[in-house]
Amino acid sequence: MKLRVMARLIEIQRVLVRHGLDEFVRETHLYRPLRFVFLASPWTWLERRKQAPRGERLRLALEELGPIFIKFGQALSTRRDLLPPDIAVELAKLQDRVPPFDNATARAIIEKSLGKPVTEAFATFEEQPLAAASIAQVHAATLPAAGSASGAASGTASGAPAQPGAEVIVKVLRPGMRDVISRDLEVMHELARLAKANSAEARRLRVDEIVDEYEKTILDELDLMREAANASQLKRNFEGSSLLHVPAVYWDLCRVDVMVMERIRGVTISDMDTLRAKGTNIAMLAQNGVKIFFTQVFRHNFFHADMHPGNIFVLVDDPANPRYAAIDFGIVGTLDLRDQHYLAENFLAVFDRDYRRVAELHVQSGWVPPDTRVDEMESAIRTVLEPIFDRPLKDISFGTILLRLFDISRRFDMRIQPQLILLQKTLLNIEGLGRDLYPELDIWQTAAPILREWMSDRISPRAQLKHIRRNLPDILTSLHALPSLIKVAVQQAEDGKLALGVRSEEIAALRREMQESEQRRNRTLIGTALGFGSLLWIGFGLPPDIVGWLLLLAAAVVLWRARRS
């Protein structure tokens, strides 16, 4: 284990003990003996005399441990139904109330990135940040007025002219984030390696691949130009839609560690008291949230994958028709077309209570082994899903469902699909938001029509013609090249030189396995020959030269077999 990784593990232990979270330390098997060093330390016991409530201690520990741990707390905070109330309340503070870094550092980063003073880039700039999160913090500002020296440089807002004097937010990446995250990713990779080497369950869950996927996701968040591009794409996808508003991007003021966007003035989705006081149509809001999710995943195949309450606002200019507004587009997801197809088929089969079809789809997609008994899996899925149909969210115990699904996954050796982790995380966020927002929501009745419409559009004649038109240039190019390819193939066939190459990972793996098996057999033969020669020499007292000839003959046989193989 690398010294850097070991030092970080020790630091994690120390933070947990210092905040009185001993139960976590006791569960840390990989380096449990080290806990006694900290438990015996005088400062540990001094800290214990002034302990805060457990929820606050857990939040403070996550904040001290850094961005990856804060994001873990954010994800947990969206599932209040799975957490004790005191912990849920404290973890919710991680959504947008992480301690900010100092204003002078933020200003210096902005000026270095933009190449000009803040006073020149913006007409006004608020030193005190509006909000601070694990990766970055945001400051309120306004663009220069028309005709000012810097007004012409204010850029464009996602294709539209920048509005002089417009209210904007300036997002600034926390300093030193890349080094901090790189160190914690090393720890995660090491823990995944150890878990995979020592646990069959970890191998089934493919923890190493999950960490690989998470690494790509978290590193993408460190590039604010990428986030700006994600926002622009999402805005185009919902252009003219009454479901979701996405803030405009001011490209001329965006850099890798600084991003400027339109300021959103709305009510945070978690502020239910304000939403009710304004007469917001909560039922419509909840239904629209489900529509947005399925529209992003299936119609657009581009979804916001960090939908915790701190990133979702509600525009209530018209309370009877509320509209969502999203921010923070650092994490977005897309699906492989094959995965998208299987997911849609699975959802529709669940909506139709066709549990056998769900089991068949899991086998066809390779999510479970090919020899899985479909009838047994069908029965297991029915046992989990049948009790929750036609029930609102408030009557569904999601914790119980999760435990039952984990049991099914273990029983049928269901492999985790790392490429779907972001989608599963987003689905959990959406379900948690819906539960807090409108517990009476019937997710089945809301989601089914959206998915059926998408499936119908997907196989419609118009969609098929669009697909053909999109691929027509490639088809024509292939047709132009076809005569010459056929001519070459025919000529090679006449000359007896035509060879059909078959390349397959499975064939390559089989070849390696055969070679390794042959090598093991050869080693066994050599060992047997040596052992036999020794027995002849000792047991029968044969002269050494005869024994040598016998051994040489055995070695020649082994070499001959190896050459033939």
Rounded Cα–Cα distance for residues 85 and 90 (Å)? 9
SS3 content of the chain, % helix, strand, coil (to 5): 65, 10, 30
Confidence band for 244, pLDDT divided at 50, 70 and 90 = very high
More confident residue, 313 or 525: 313
Q: Which amino acid is at 31?
A: Y
Q: How many CB atoms lie within 10 A of CB 22?
A: 15
Print the SS3 string covering 235-292. Answer: HHHCCCCCCEECCCEEHHHCCCCEEEEECCCCEECCCHHHHHHCCCCHHHHHHHHHHH
pLDDT score at 254:
95
More confident residue, 95 or 11: 11
Rounded Cα–Cα distance for residues 198 and 204 (Å)? 12
167-173 and 136-142 as β-strands: parallel, antiparallel, unpaired? antiparallel
Bridge partner residues of 169 (DSSP): 140, 261
Rounded Cα–Cα distance for residues 441 and 434 (Å)? 7
More confident residue, 400 or 172: 172
333-349 confidence digits (pLDDT tens):
888 888 888 888 888 88
**136 phi, psi to nearest 5 deg:** -150, 175
Rounded Cα–Cα distance for residues 29 and 292 (Å)? 42
pLDDT score at 533:
52
457-488 confidence digits (pLDDT tens):
766 677 667 666 776 677 777 777 778 777 77
Cα-Cα-Cα-Cα dihedral sign, residues 118, 119, 122, 127: positive
Q: Best-predicted range by mean pLDDT among 338-352, 387-401, 517-531?
A: 338-352
CB-based burial of residue 511 (10 Å sphere; 0-12 exposed, 13-18 middle, 19+ buried)? exposed
Angstrom CA distances, 523 to 347, 512, 514, 517, stand at 54, 17, 14, 10
272-306 confidence digits (pLDDT tens):
899 999 999 998 998 888 889 889 988 899 989 88
Beta-carbon contacts of 461 under 8 Å, excluding residues fewer than 6 positions away, are none
pLDDT score at 154:
47
More confident residue, 441 or 147: 441
Active-site annotation holder among 306, 318, 407, 442? 306
If you search the block for the tokens 């005709």, which residue do you land on?
147
538-562 confidence digits (pLDDT tens):
444 545 555 455 555 655 555 555 5
pLDDT score at 68:
79
Q: How many CB atoms lie within 10 A of CB 62?
A: 25
Q: Which amino acid is at 356?
A: R
pLDDT score at 546:
54
**223 phi, psi to nearest 5 deg:** -115, 100
Nearest in space to 77 (alpha carbons), one of 95, 53, 97, 52: 95
**157 phi, psi to nearest 5 deg:** -105, 90
91-137 confidence digits (pLDDT tens):
878 776 778 888 899 999 999 999 999 999 999 999 999 988 888 99
Question: Whats the size of the chain, residue-wise?
Answer: 565
Nearest in space to 253 (alpha carbons), one of 275, 232, 225: 225
- Would you tell me the crossing angle of helices 443-458 and 337-351 to the nearest 10 degrees? 130
410-419 confidence digits (pLDDT tens):
778 776 666 6
Q: Are 247 and 156 in contact (CB under 8 A)?
A: no
pLDDT score at 4:
74
Bridge partner residues of 172 (DSSP): 137, 258
Q: Are 96 and 310 in contact (CB under 8 A)?
A: yes
Q: Is the pLDDT of residue 165 over 70?
A: yes
Q: Best-predicted range by mean pLDDT among 205-219, 427-441, 455-469?
A: 205-219
Active-site annotation holds for 22: no
